[in-house]
Amino acid sequence: MSEKAHGPSERLMRAGSSRRRIIVWRHGQTTHNAAGIWQGQLDTELSELGREQAAAAAAVIAGYEPGRIIASDLKRASETARALGDLVGLTPAYDPRLREIHVGEWQGLTAGDVAEGYPELQDALARGEDVARGVTGETIAQVVDRVSELLDELTATLGEGETVVLATHGVTGRALAAHLVGIDQGVAWMSLAGLHNCHWVEIVEHRFGWRIECWNLGA
């Protein structure tokens, strides 16, 4: 990707050796997404539209010249990752730590069913409380525990100037991005819009850490 012109303050932050980059990419649409059904860790596949979205997004993300692709092992994310891998000649690695948040009893239910059957939990989420999704599912804190381990491994091995693409899910992607740049998860939940299908976050290393350069990019 070509660099845009930046002012002196921005150039100061960017000074130094070739910067490392992490692309956090949400999977394409599934029929469950289209129908408003809670998926969590149900292993759903991409819809026809989702496959088209993956191909279109892959054509853009290829411009970052990724050196690695790591994907959730759930079908909708792994299939999305393969669209990019096929284009750039890389075989994705699959890691269950990139799976979507587990939503417990909500998995397979429509948004209407959940709103009717679990109003107190829905209200708690709307207030920004980190409650277990679907009673028996995960909290954001638990998601962060698993993705932070992966990020520690990744940043320890990411080469100078290297770009890695992480093909994951909506809630997990937001939590991962917020954790990497040091945004409080409660703030992220309430203030960062959820990632659209096949949209991504560009996170780039600057002189003293990581920061989000672009949010919810799409083809």
Q: Is 100 a catalytic residue?
A: yes
Sign of CA dihedral 35, 46, 102, 67: negative
Q: Catalytic: which of 27, 32, 169, 179? A: 27
Instruction: Please pick, among 32, 79, 100, 169, the residue that the annotation labels catalytic.
Output: 100
Check if 102 is active-site.
no
Residue given tokens 């040091």 in the structure block: 182
- Distance, in Å, from the CA atom of 29 to the CA atom of 197, rounded to the nearest integer, reads 5
How far apart are the C-alpha atoms of 83 and 69, rounded to whole Å?
A: 11
What length does the chain have? 219
**Helices (H), ranges, the chain:** 8-14, 31-35, 48-61, 75-88, 111-117, 119-126, 140-157, 170-181, 185-191
3-state secondary structure 152-195: HHHHHHCCCCCEEEEEECHHHHHHHHHHHHCCCHHHHHHHCCCC
Residues annotated catalytic, as ranges: 27, 100
